[in-house]
Amino acid sequence: MSKINQSVLVTGGAGYIGSILVPLLLREGYRVTVLDSFMFNPSSLLDVCHDEKLTVVRGDCRDRTLVKKLLDGADIAIPLACLVGMPLCEQRPLEAQSINCDAVKMIVDLSRPDQKIIYPNTNSGYGVGQSGIFCTEESPLNPISIYGKTKVEAEKYVLASGRGAAFRLATVFGVSPRMRIDLLVNDFTYRAVMDRFVVLFEAHFKRNYVHVRDVARAFVHVINNFERMQGQAYNIGLSSANLSKMELCLEIKKQIPPFTIMEAPVGKDPDQRNYIVSNEKIEKTGFAAQVDIQKGVAELIKAYQIVRRNTYANV
């Protein structure tokens, strides 16, 4: 089936990732239906409303009747709708379970055998890794937050259906029309631009990173290669960016030399994730992340001449 005849349902399509992914899918020739509650009042899709291939529906991803109606007209489902991140999920645990997990299971249950489901998990499901050992898709999942637990549960359900593929996304960074300043690279760069200093807790903790535009590219890649990728999970990250918080700040300091980095002698990071990740499996399929940390920081510095924190966060 040609792209022009294929329809993609994206729940949460007006969010941080969706507002990059939806325009890309439209440019690629897909018909796209976005289902979003517009919880944070984003205006992120206004620039593509002229596209006749776009349909926007304001609604709840947990509304079974509505989801069934929209899913019936779709060839591909991408359930992006999510309460993202540990702080928000800890504040709203029941919603986290119903949106992050139960709504995804509902899509699986309502889908037809011929429909493709591409599910974005988080590699925070790895929890606390072993020092110096890369987490692969075969590594045990040990989520330590409500966010990680709900996402891992949903991923297992999608893969068990046999009609889905899953991404385990690294910590996403970069500029998006629905901006997020509370993500780690975005947050540290904001502090460097606005405050000129940061205080780090457990500065040696490591994680992997990936640019939001690379995440969108990964979705297109799996659509184009679905038959050989379905039923499996793939880490999606920048292989050159398995960095500690201190290493990340030093990368930012290369572009903002006055940035002062201090380590707290006491205190604990509420997010105890600490691991390094291998992206070899997805790279062997022909996909590799392209936007490095330095390019991402450079665009963030420009963006922070425009935006301010009080508008652009989940909590």
Token pair for 32: 């796209």
HSE value, Cβ hemisphere, 13 Å, CA-based, for 175: 15
Question: Residue 69: CB partners within 8 Å, gap ≥ 6?
Answer: none
Positive or negative torsion for Cα 117, 122, 127, 129 = positive
Mean per-residue pLDDT for 192-197? 96
What's the pLDDT at 269?
Answer: 67
Write the DSSP string, 155-192: HHHHHHTTSEEEEEEPEEES--SS--SSSHHHHHHHHH
Asked whether 289 and 182 are in contact (CB, 8 A), the reply is no
What's the pLDDT at 155?
Answer: 97
Confidence of residue 314 (pLDDT cuts 50, 70, 90): low
Strand (E) or helix (H) holding 226: helix 226-229
**Domain 3-171+210-237+279-285, CATH:** 3.40.50.720
- The domain limits of the chain are 3-171+210-237+279-285
Confidence of residue 53 (pLDDT cuts 50, 70, 90): very high
Asked whether 8 and 75 are in contact (CB, 8 A), the reply is yes
Is residue 126 predicted with pLDDT exceeding 90?
Answer: no
Write the DSSP string, 87-149: HHHHH-HHHHIIIIIIHHHHHHHHS-TT-EEEEEEEGGGG-B--TT-EE-TTSPP---SHHHH
* Nearest-angstrom CA–CA distance, 81 and 67: 12
Positive or negative torsion for Cα 173, 179, 180, 184 = positive
Angle at 179 between CA 173 and CA 182, to 5 degrees: 60
Asked whether 235 and 282 are in contact (CB, 8 A), the reply is yes
Confidence of residue 85 (pLDDT cuts 50, 70, 90): confident
What's the pLDDT at 271?
Answer: 66
pTM higher than 0.75: yes
Q: Which amino acid is present at 72?
A: D
Asked whether 300 and 174 are in contact (CB, 8 A), the reply is yes
Tens of pLDDT, residue by residue over 1-39, are: 556 679 999 999 999 999 999 999 999 999 999 999 998
Confidence of residue 308 (pLDDT cuts 50, 70, 90): confident
The span from the first CA to the last CA of the chain, in angstroms, equals: 42
CA dist list (Å): 276 to 119, 212, 287? 22, 19, 19
